[in-house]
Amino acid sequence: MSIRIEKAESLKQKPESKKIPFGQVFTDHMFVMDYEEGQGWYDPRIVPYAPITLDPAAMIFHYGQTVFEGLKAYRTKDGGTLLFRPDKNMQRLNKSNRRMSIPEIDEEEVLGYIKQLVEIEKDWVPEFEGTSLYIRPFIISTEPNLAVAPSKTYKLMVILSPVGPYFAGGMKPVRIKVEDEFTRAVKGGTGAAKTAGNYSAAYRAQANAKQEGHADVLWLDGVEKRYIEEVGSMNIFFKIDGKVVTPALSGSILEGVTRMSVLELLKDWDIPVEERKISVAELYQYYEEGKLEEAFGAGTAAVISPVGRLDWLGNTMTINDEEVGPLAKRLYDEITGIQLGEREDTKGWSVNV
């Protein structure tokens, strides 16, 4: 589809240091495309970043029919701009669309629009170490109708936000609480989709955890409350007695792009890895036996986030003396190296803008 471009009349001031608060600064332009039943997706356009106007009865406000994605553009040393496996985000967006009864998008086409938007905003990709331009595609249901049913109209938007390093003073292990009261998702629910409701549903548990000094919660499965699922916005990995274990996709876990990349690298490196059900009780047993060598989260925000301590119903697992473990470090260096174009990209993960 041919795209309409309307340039902003005046440009905003770009952040000058790498201390950019996450998700609060936005670039000069955004991408918008509309959907109407019968017509399909239409009018793709890049326009000045501006508020949107919706009827108070727009379905998004009432029934939460919406999906989103999150990926990043990285500045290379030679001034280029790279995206990391953006095709995977487009695939996941459509997977979320199917779960939420939202019309699918043409993945290649939308990726093309995102590249065009990033190209126009390329001066917004910050160049300090650890910084990037966060890309947030999202689709909202816009029909003004209080009937509880899928919307007949939608809006797909892409906004861009420069972000500072996830770890201000270098990678630092975090403390995580195993959540035993609240549930994030359950089999048959929306946990495997990237949809708004999953995130606010987590706030109560996260607030409790923060009060106790934890960075986030580790969710358990909603059925038995025994099996480990994921952390707030990260999938979780454990290194146990030389092997890496991560929860298998259960239908209620979001399949992370970072997770799949970690799995592929581990296979390349001949490190044994198991995708399977793992209960906290099992993990704790390994801990007591001295076999829990490392734990780390994997997600777009931090890439790799080592877990230094896990608290579970009064039991504390201190992992690798709350230091960054060698495997977490190796994965972080390799993935960020590829993202920044500094390490050889043998798998075609990086996409030039």
Ligand X SMILES: Cc1ncc(COP(=O)(O)O)c(C=O)c1O
Site residues for its own copies per CB under 8 A: 21-24, 26, 30, 49, 51-57, 60-66, 68, 99-101, 134, 136, 138, 140-141, 144-150, 157, 159, 161, 181-190, 195-204, 206-207, 222-225, 232-233
Shortest gap between Cβ of 12 and its own copies (angstroms)?
14
**257 touches ligand X by CB under 6 A:** yes
Instruction: Tell me whether residue 149 or residue 248 sits nearer to its own copies (CB atom).
Output: 149
Residues 208, 213, 216, 222, CA torsion sign: negative
Please give the Cα distance from 319 to 309 (Å, whole number): 6
Nearest to 178 by CA among 310, 282, 54: 310
Site string for ligand X, 258-297 (x = CB under 6 A): xx--------------------------------------
Q: Which residue's CB atom is positioned nearest to ligand X?
A: 256
Shortest gap between Cβ of 315 and ligand X (angstroms)?
24
Please give the DSSP secondary-structure letter assigned to residue 15: P
Cα 222 to the center of its chain, rounded Å:
21
Shortest gap between Cβ of 119 and ligand X (angstroms)?
23
Nearest to 129 by CA among 307, 332, 324, 299: 332
**206 touches ligand X by CB under 6 A:** no
Strand 216-220 to 228-231 pairing: antiparallel
Q: Exposed (0-12), middle (13-18) or buried (19+): which is 215, by Cβ within 10 Å?
A: buried
**125 touches ligand X by CB under 6 A:** no
Instruction: Tell me whether residue 147 or residue 288 sits nearer to its own copies (CB atom).
Output: 147
**256 touches ligand X by CB under 6 A:** yes
Indicate the helix (H) or strand (E) that contains 5.
strand 4-5
- Pick from 70, 86, 222, 247: which binds ligand X (CB under 6 A)? 70
- Pick from 90, 254, 283, 317: which binds ligand X (CB under 6 A)? 254
**305 touches ligand X by CB under 6 A:** no
Instruction: Tell me whether residue 151 or residue 258 sits nearer to ligand X (CB atom).
Output: 258
Q: Within 10 A of 116 (CB to CB), how many other CB atoms are there?
A: 18
Buried b (16+ CB within 10 A) or exposed e, 160-191: bbbbbbbbeeebebbbbbbbeebbbbeeebbb
**334 touches ligand X by CB under 6 A:** no
Please give the Cα distance from 341 to 83 (Å, whole number): 10
Please give the Cα distance from 189 to 120 (Å, whole number): 38
Shortest gap between Cβ of 86 and ligand X (angstroms)?
11
Instruction: Return the range that interacts with ligand X (CB under 6 A); candidates 74-82, 157-165, 250-258, 304-312.
Output: 250-258
Interface residues toward ligand X, by CB under 6 A: 70, 230, 233-235, 254, 256-259, 299-300
